[in-house]
Amino acid sequence: MASLNNKIKEVVVVEGYHDLAKLKAIYKDIDVYITNGSEISENTLKELKSLNETRGLILFLDPDYQGERIRRKLSDYVGPTKHAFLTKKDCINKNKTKVGIEHANSVKISEALSSFYTTKIEVNIKVNFSDLYRLKLIGNKNSKALRLELGETLGIGLNNGKTLLYKINMFGITVMEIEEILRK
């Protein structure tokens, strides 16, 4: 695997040592912080808040329930930061038994770390539940499939209605952008 020389200036936050090893194999110079799973200590939160203020963070967590739980917890504590996403299908091991960043190929990882979302300092709710109903993203028999399609296109994975609304507003995605994606 060829090591990339382009420097990522932010600290990339991952869940475990296998994720760290994968990123180090891809990027020659990268600073990675490991959360050691979902039980994040107060000390870890303080360190990450300080790193976010001085260097910036890119949250690059597994596309599963625990990864999303960690992402929310860190976002709430450290403030506005960058978020990189991979889809579940890009993170499944060969036996199709485990999901994680460490199972993704280097091209997908590089794409994710070069096309992240940035949380907005002031979240102005532009999209609301009535928009999700109107767009059939909730309350419809095909809602889950539409949310999956939208999540895949945006690179934020599959979300339930409440989490989708949270992410859409956090990243400043507009109703017009969503409508255009769903028209394709």
Say what percent of the chain tops pLDDT 90: 52
Q: Determine whether domain 1-119 maps to CATH 2.40.30.10.
A: no
Q: In this model, does residue 124 exceed pLDDT 70?
A: no
Residues 152 and 75: their CA atoms lie apart, in Å, by 21
Please state which of the ranges 45-49, 63-67, 118-122 shows the lowest mean pLDDT: 118-122
Q: In this model, does residue 159 exceed pLDDT 50?
A: yes
DSSP β-ladder status, 32-34 and 11-14: parallel
What Å distances lie between residue 6 and 113, 123, 137, CA to CA? 11, 31, 38
Please provide the average confidence, as pLDDT, over all residues in the chain: 87
Residue 93 vs residue 142, higher pLDDT: 142
Phi, psi of 165, rounded to the nearest 5 degrees: -60, -45
pLDDT of residue 2: 42
Residue-wise pLDDT tens digits, 34-59:
998 778 999 999 999 999 999 999 99
Q: State the pLDDT confidence band at 3, using cuts at 50, 70 and 90.
A: very low
Single-letter residue type at 31: D
Looking at residue 172, what DSSP letter applies?
Answer: T
pLDDT of residue 110: 92
Q: What residues are paired with 82 via a beta bridge?
A: 58, 118
- Edge to edge, the sheet with strand 117-118 lists 32-34, 11-14, 57-60, 82-84, 117-118
Q: State the pLDDT confidence band at 125, using cuts at 50, 70 and 90.
A: low
Say what percent of the chain tops pLDDT 70: 93
Q: Look up the pTM and report it.
A: 0.75
Residue-wise pLDDT tens digits, 20-34:
999 999 998 899 999
SS (H, E, C) 58-106: EEECCCCHHHHHHHHHHHHHHCCCEEECCCHHHCECCCCCCECHHHCCH
Domain extent listing, the chain:
1-119, 123-184
Residue 89 vs residue 135, higher pLDDT: 135
